[in-house]
Structure 1
């Protein structure tokens, strides 16, 4: 039996988030979804569970956007729905925070305008929102400027990441399946390995060995960057076993069937390199463990060693341990799979 390294994973369970809504007048909405009435930021539009310093930094980001990008007044008689936040450009936050917030006010879609986020992880999702919502009006951040709206409706942002609105997260999945035409009665027995060989960072230096050992077990190799979004959802819905590096692409485990398995290859926690100042721990990020539990998918960790020989090239943000390559312990991966597919 594979030795479980549960002591390396943060064990705090994911709290269930039950969103409320706020209606407000004369609101300025930044491109990142922060809402201001005069100089005051509406806390419902941001994460407020990380302490005063983080909240102050968020406020400063919003004020900076107002000063540098300006504001465009949009005259509309409709109440405008603001459902995105500072993190929505990332796929994980789009799927687990933004879309559930939008679905929480679905009964208001037919009478409201929609504020379309300036950043989204996939253009297909923007088109899908417009098609499925059939909104009378869509308001955009034209010219990159912020918006001043007469009336807004704000479905509340979770106070922290990893707080899940379970009901509306399930609705998102059901609506996507219906739109793409996923047959939930079909078998889900495919074995999938997600490669990052074409990514700019966080690759597997020994991936050739990993693939050579997985293919005889019936694993198919996919590069999701080369697969359209509908294909990604359909492929995940048919997966019985998924092997992937830690990363936002694992959000797609929400499309897997109950009882299926996901193996997350993640960096072995090592203080102080992996210390996270928001979670206040160096232990492994439990985001996908928690998401898997919600969708009744079995989650397994295979911890990997950091390869710091290939330093990532300069990025728009500070380089972190998450950007380095990971060396997969192939024997441990196969031992974990042996318990799943025996």
Structure 2
């Protein structure tokens, strides 16, 4: 509610000629100035890249040349949440028929989900994906889509995403998935992660046998399999984590997100705003982390809170 009336940044697409792309996606225009929109529109992220010296010395480096490109490399692209909400979301601003007229520039070491999402969600041709390996790239014509979130003092430095972008990604994903005969109730396991794990998730399976909960390991699923899973999600139980980004592919699930009390409050808004815009039922249950890794042990109090949600779900 605190963000309900803030003024959002405008969505735009900027076209420039004769630019250079330095290191991790920093665009230098023909006059030699950095286009901050290529660095998440803030100097903070430019500085985090630690590449100002590469910009200054760029003329010493070998370069590739591309005629037309959209550059998606940035400081946060290795993270699934930020890739979907801050990279894929930039492309949906551009008309679909225009996308394959451009090379999509990403880092050569990008995770597999990066390429999979471009191909399977946005219909980008594989040959139009350019894996950038060198420190310097010249582009004759570049499109710079704006980052579709607002982040400033008015949002307490929380990322508030443009609602139209969330709806567009959700709509695109539904063209790529099918509705199954029945919904699937599942717990997102983070046992292969290093933090925010549910240490005794089996207790949920035993407590609600009639709901047929499954434990899923998202890191073992292809991008398309994650889209399909969430399209047919019934009840989703998870601790706070990037896997909940997949809510953007869902259709009317019920979400129970366990949130560690020793984490910044603003982080609880990241996945909730997806649910809010798509009108999902999303419950956040705060818990006291048992260790520095913010792991969750389901005790009497947290199970009682979970039971309230499950009871409400059954009575609907």
TM-score with structure 1 setting the length: 0.75
**What is residue 253 of structure 1 aligned with on the other side?**
247
Give the direction of change, closer, same or farther, for the CA distance of 1:284–1:43 in structure 2 (3 Å limit).
closer
Matches within 5 A, 1:302-317: 302-308=285-291
How has the CA–CA distance of structure 1 residues 203 and 48 changed in structure 2, closer, same or farther, with 3 Å as cutoff? Answer: same
Answering whether residue 104 of structure 2 is matched by residue 114 of structure 1, we say: yes
SS in structure 1 at match of 2:289: strand
For residues 230 and 204 of structure 2, the distance between their equivalents in structure 1, rounded to whole angstroms, comes to 20
Match of 1:222 among 216, 220, 234: 216
CA distance in 1, matches of 2:230, 2:127: 33
Can you list the C-alpha shifts for 1:110-153, whole angstroms capped at 9, x where unaligned? 432221344544x25414525712377443212x5342323311
How far the C-alpha of 1:17 sits from its partner, in A, is: 5.2
C-alpha distance in 1 between matches for 2:85 and 2:281: 19
1:176 aligns with 2:173: yes
Alpha-carbon deviation of 1:204? 2.0
Measure the CA separation in 1 of the matches of 2:225 and 2:65. Answer: 39
Residues in 2 aligned to 1:334 and 1:213: alpha-carbon distance in whole angstroms: 10
Shift of 1:67: 7.2
Quick check: 1:292 aligned with 2:275?
yes
What is the match of residue 22 of structure 1? 14
Residues 332/116 of structure 1: CA separation in 2 closer, same or farther (3 Å cut): same
Q: Unmatched 5+ residue regions in structure 2?
A: 152-157
Task: Specify the SS of the correspondent of 1:253.
Answer: helix
After the TM superposition, which residues 83-162 of structure 1 pair with which residues of structure 2 at under 5 Å, given as runs?
Answer: 83-106=72-95, 107-121=97-111, 123-130=112-119, 132-134=123-125, 137-142=128-133, 144-158=134-148, 159-160=150-151, 162=159
Q: Structure 1 residues 137, 294: closer, same or farther in 2, change over 3 A? A: same
TM-score, L = length of structure 2: 0.80
Match in the other structure for 2:195 = 201
State yes or no: 1:332 paired with 2:305: yes
The alpha carbon displacement at 1:207 in A equals 2.8
The answer to whether the Cα contact below 8 Å between 1:27 and 1:36 also exists between their aligned partners in 2 is: yes
What are the residue-to-residue correspondences of 1:49-88 with 2, within 5 Å? 54=44, 57-58=47-48, 61-64=50-53, 66=55, 71-76=61-66, 78-88=67-77
Structure 1: where are the runs of 5+ without partners? 1-9, 276-281, 312-322
d(CA) in 2 for partners of 1:213, 1:294: 31
How many angstroms does 1:263 deviate by? 0.7
Deviates most, 204-213 or 243-252: 204-213
Q: Deviations over 1:177-235 (max 9, x none)?
A: 434xx224x45532111111222222123334344324453212211122222222111
Counterpart for residue 315 of structure 1? none
